[in-house]
């Protein structure tokens, strides 16, 4: 059981009331209510049981990188670093090119000599992440996926070009995956966990969680995660959105060795993609970095040239604009839409509500009950392992 420093109802810094908490492999996120401003935020920190010196130093450094990324509509914004009341702090000079208010400049604090982990004060995003969404809808319509791809690429363009106070230009995300794209109730994708993936370079080969992250990694990242460039993020971007569009992982297998083999030597099934999108995905998912798009500027040029005609079965949510195919309630904002005529699987067979069969609805193959993805075709199973990719 993860060790949590704060419990529901606790008041942090005499200002932030804890409403909820979530714990991952290395970090904790507290959903808090700011009693001073009447706004909701997220506070992220490193887990109490993982606060070794090296991990703390990395967290301090990467947290400051996140704060200095500043504002962009497709990033989860880090407003400030908050330290324990007894920590020694001083004001930190903010990059002149970063758009921040005078109050934010005063709020951004730098840790001096303290072992206390900082709390990162984050924008609260009130919708699901893309991984959670895919568990509900299976896949996303090509037109909606294209809109998200453009917005996410714009966010990554900012991440790769932001200039930091120490002179560094940009940072590599290294962990783009569906769980790290949050969706606001206005249907805006926001990238989260900037730079913090650098803390997780060492890969365990024993857990489904690791397998989920590996499935979006570039071949060069798997060889040497410390020396990748922006083209590695482009590969992960392609692998992530291939799954969004098709409902299937681009690279899958019965075990980690199979997934690694697929990433390094096998192509995804291009026939599952709409023909208009195949060229962009092929370029993003080239095995050699030299053959991929050079940067997200090139990705955006290619994406903006695409046109996808709406299908007759598409439904657009009046509340947030989410484009789906026959979904009754909008999974983004909750607005009700007209139901589809029949609830059918991708294979054209009716889906029974509450069915917990281990047979894949797409290819009909039998799998173990705890599999999130079919071992044979890579499709999402109806019964998903909630731990995968968290």
Count Cβ atoms below 10 Å from residue 195 Cβ, excluding itself: 21
Strand segments (E) across 83-200? 89-91, 109-111, 119-123, 181-183, 189-191
**Same domain flag for 100 and 138:** no
Residue 388's pLDDT is 33
**pLDDT score of 59:** 78
255 occurs within a structural domain: yes
> pLDDT digits over 327-368, tens only?
778 999 987 655 444 333 333 333 343 333 455 544 444 454
What are the two backbone dihedrals, phi and then psi, of residue 153, each rounded to the nearest 5 degrees?
Answer: -65, -35
Do 315 and 324 meet the contact criterion of CB atoms below 8 Å apart? Answer: yes
pLDDT computed for residue 328 by the predictor = 73
Q: 55 lies in which domain range?
A: 11-123
pLDDT value of position 358: 54
User: How many residues appear in the chain?
Assistant: 390
In the chain, the number of structural domains is: 3
pLDDT at 98: 52
Domain-located, residue 309 = no
Residue 325 lies in a domain: no
At 249, phi and psi to the nearest 5? -65, 145
Q: Do 280 and 163 share a structural domain?
A: yes
Write the CB contacts of 69 (distance below 8 Å, at least 6 apart in sequence): 75, 77, 78, 98, 158, 159, 162, 171, 194
Q: Tabulate helix, strand, coil % of the chain (nearest 5).
A: 35, 15, 50
Spans in the chain with pLDDT lower than 70? 1-3, 25, 50, 84-117, 195-212, 336-390
Report the pLDDT value the prediction gives residue 353, as an integer from 0 to 100.
37
What's the CATH number where 155 sits?
Answer: 1.10.510.10
Tell me: do 136 and 192 sit in the same domain: yes
pLDDT of 82: 84
Rounded to two decimals, the pTM is: 0.77
- Percent of the chain clearing pLDDT 90 (strictly above): 49
Question: What pLDDT, on the 0 to 100 scale, is given for residue 345?
Answer: 35
Q: What does the pLDDT read at residue 225?
A: 80
């Amino acid at each position: 059981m993860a060790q949590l420093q704060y419990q529901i109802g606790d008041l942090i810094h005499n200002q932030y009331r804890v409403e909820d908490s979530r714990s991952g492999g290395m970090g904790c996120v507290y959903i808090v209510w700011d009693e001073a401003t009447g706004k909701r935020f997220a506070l992220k920190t490193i887990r109490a049981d993982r606060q070794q010196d090296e991990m703390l130093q990395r967290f301090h450094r990467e947290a400051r990188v996140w704060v200095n990324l500043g504002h962009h509509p497709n990033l989860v914004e880090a407003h400030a670093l908050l330290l324990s009341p007894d920590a020694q702090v001083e004001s930190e000079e903010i990059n002149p090119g970063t758009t921040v208010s005078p109050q934010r400049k005063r709020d951004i604090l730098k840790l001096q000599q303290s072992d206390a982990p900082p709390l990162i004060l984050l924008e609260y995003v009130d919708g699901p992440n893309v991984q959670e969404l895919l568990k509900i809808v299976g896949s996303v319509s090509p037109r909606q996926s294209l809109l998200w791809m453009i917005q996410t690429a714009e966010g990554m363009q900012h991440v790769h070009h932001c200039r930091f106070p120490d002179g560094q230009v940009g940072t590599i995300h290294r962990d783009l995956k569906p769980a790290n794209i949050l969706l606001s109730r206005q249907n805006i994708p926001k990238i989260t966990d900037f730079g913090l993936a650098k803390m997780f370079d060492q890969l365990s080969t024993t857990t489904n969680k690791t397998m989920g992250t590996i499935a979006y990694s570039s071949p060069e990242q798997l060889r040497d995660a410390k020396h990748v460039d922006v083209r590695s993020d482009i590969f992960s971007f392609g692998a992530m959105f291939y799954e969004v569009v098709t409902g299937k992982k681009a690279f899958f297998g019965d075990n980690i060795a199979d997934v690694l083999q697929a990433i390094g030597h096998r192509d995804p099934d291009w026939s599952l993609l709409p023909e208009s999108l195949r060229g962009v995905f092929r370029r993003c998912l080239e095995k050699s970095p030299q053959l991929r798009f050079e940067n997200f500027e090139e990705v955006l040029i290619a994406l903006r040239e695409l046109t996808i005609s709406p299908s007759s079965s598409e439904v657009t949510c009046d509340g947030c604009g989410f484009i789906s195919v026959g979904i009754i309630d909008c999974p983004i904002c909750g607005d009700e839409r007209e139901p589809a005529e029949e609830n059918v699987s991708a294979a054209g067979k009716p889906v029974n509500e509450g069915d917990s069969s281990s047979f894949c609805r797409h290819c009909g193959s039998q799998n173990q009950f705890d599999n999130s993805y079919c071992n044979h075709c890579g499709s999402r199973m109806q019964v998903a392992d909630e731990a995968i990719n968290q």
